[in-house]
Amino acid sequence: MKIHIDIDCFFVSATRIKEPSLEGKAVAIGGRSDTKIFDSESKNQSVNFENSGSFVPTFYKAYEERDDIDAFKDADGRVRGILTTSSYEARKYGVKTAMSIREALTLCPHLIIKAPNMSLYQQLSHELHEFLQTKIPLVEQASIDEFYGDLSGWVEDSDVPSFIAALRDEIKSVTKLPVSIGASKTRYIAKLATTHAKPYGCKVIFENDLKGFIEKIPVGAFAGIGKSMKEKLHSAQIHTLGELSRRRGTLESWGPYAKELYLRVKGQSDDEISTKHIRKSIGISRTFDPLFERTELRRRVHVLARHLNYAILRLKVIPTIFSLSLNYEMCQKSHKNISLCEVFTEKKFDSLCLKLFSDADIHKRLHVIRISINCSSFTRESRKELSLIGFEDDQKMHRLTKESQKVREKYGIDMLKWGSEL
């Protein structure tokens, strides 16, 4: 059997380990785009490569000066930001993830707002991963707060309920983290089972139980069914997983992805547990107050490109597809990308990002509220794979880039900046 382990309200649970007095209280963790990255005094930026998940940034501040509601007040004293998670005590009042902090405080005036502590989350996630590796032969970390395990040949199916119950209690005893665990023949059904086990519960779905278990579950609750697929299913009068399981012909007529989705819901298709996560892309984005001045926007592109350059060099990869997206006021968007297979250098990357910004900025009369840069399709540095045009000059710049990287790794990302950032 496969099992899925999910940490209950992870960010809140981690905060309670640090501050036990918050146990049993309505607590929420706020989140706000770190626009201080653009300030001249910006410091203490850390990079996360190991974990991913909702509200888990690649770049984050190593620590916050304030960890309470004051951390989310702007210069005018207005409370800004959204919630990344909330405790079950808070959810009873209607508080939800991604809700604005101001709205949450209206619903629950006694709600305790804490600032995120990514360094603590990374540490606890790593500790849990190491612990699980001593208990289960194959462990895959799916995100900062989710893990999969394979018990095949390790635990008899009949013993799985008692095994995962004991594992849940031992995790709480050793790491102090409350988790819920789901188990089934496939990882997809195991994940679905975890949702119905929360909080701090266990649920095993045997093959004979699957049909009854999925009968009334909404299609949107299944991993892999996004907004567009959900709407398409609803248009075909398919609202529950039980209904989906009886519409094989309809799903197969929609193509390979829908056909695979049908098999996953039926528990007939699965993916192996992978102990190594191969990163396929990396990006950075920031949301800020509406900004019209293009000179300042270009300066911010310089800043974001410098941070992303640092991460790419740390990963020791060479991206070949580069993209930049802009979000404007009035819900307008623009996106540009380019494919380039050459030696990676900071100067070339910075110039490329500026060009992408110029090409993407098609609504020049509108204010910009978000800039996103993404790099993907990594390749290894090879004369056979990379363009040989200007290769020798690129190698010289690459050596300079590597030396700059050494300085930043020793003294911080902000130790060396482009003059155009100032």
Q: Are 30 and 83 in contact (CB under 8 A)?
A: yes
Dist. CA 364–CA 271, nearest whole Å = 46
What are the tokens at 231? 């709407």
Dist. CA 260–CA 265, nearest whole Å = 9
- Which domains does the chain carry? 10-119 (3.40.1170.60), 215-271 (1.10.150.20), 281-421 (3.30.1490.100)
C-beta neighbour count of 276 within 10 angstroms: 6
Closest residue by Cα to residue 13 from 143, 194, 180: 180
- Residue 383: what pLDDT? 43
**Coil, strand or helix: which one is 237?**
coil
What are the tokens at 178? 């409350």
- Residue 381: what pLDDT? 42
Q: Are 93 and 119 in contact (CB under 8 A)?
A: no
State how far the alpha carbon of 82 is from the alpha carbons of 29, 116, 405, in Å.
9, 12, 34
Residue with tokens 């770049």: 59
27-31, strands of its sheet edge to edge: 82-86, 27-31, 112-114
Dist. CA 109–CA 274, nearest whole Å = 44
Helix axes 10-18, 118-133, angle to 10 degrees: 100
Amino acid in position 372: S
Give buried/exposed letters for 347-376 (b at 16+ CB in 10 A, else e).
Answer: ebbbebbbebbeebbeeeebebbebbbbbb
Dist. CA 211–CA 241, nearest whole Å = 9
pLDDT truncated to tens, each residue of the chain (422 aa)?
999 999 999 999 999 999 999 999 999 999 866 667 787 665 566 676 666 666 666 666 655 556 778 878 877 788 888 999 999 999 999 999 989 999 999 999 999 999 988 889 999 999 999 999 999 989 999 999 999 999 998 999 999 999 999 999 999 999 999 999 999 999 999 999 999 999 999 999 999 999 999 999 999 999 999 999 999 999 999 999 999 999 999 999 999 999 999 999 999 999 998 887 777 888 999 989 899 999 999 999 999 999 999 989 888 888 999 999 999 998 999 999 999 888 888 999 999 999 999 999 999 999 999 999 999 988 754 344 555 555 566 667 777 777 777 777 777 777 777 677 76
What are the tokens at 68? 């309470």
In angstroms, how far is CA 199 from the centroid of its own chain? 22
pTM of the predicted structure, to 2 decimals? 0.79
**Length in residues, the chain:** 422
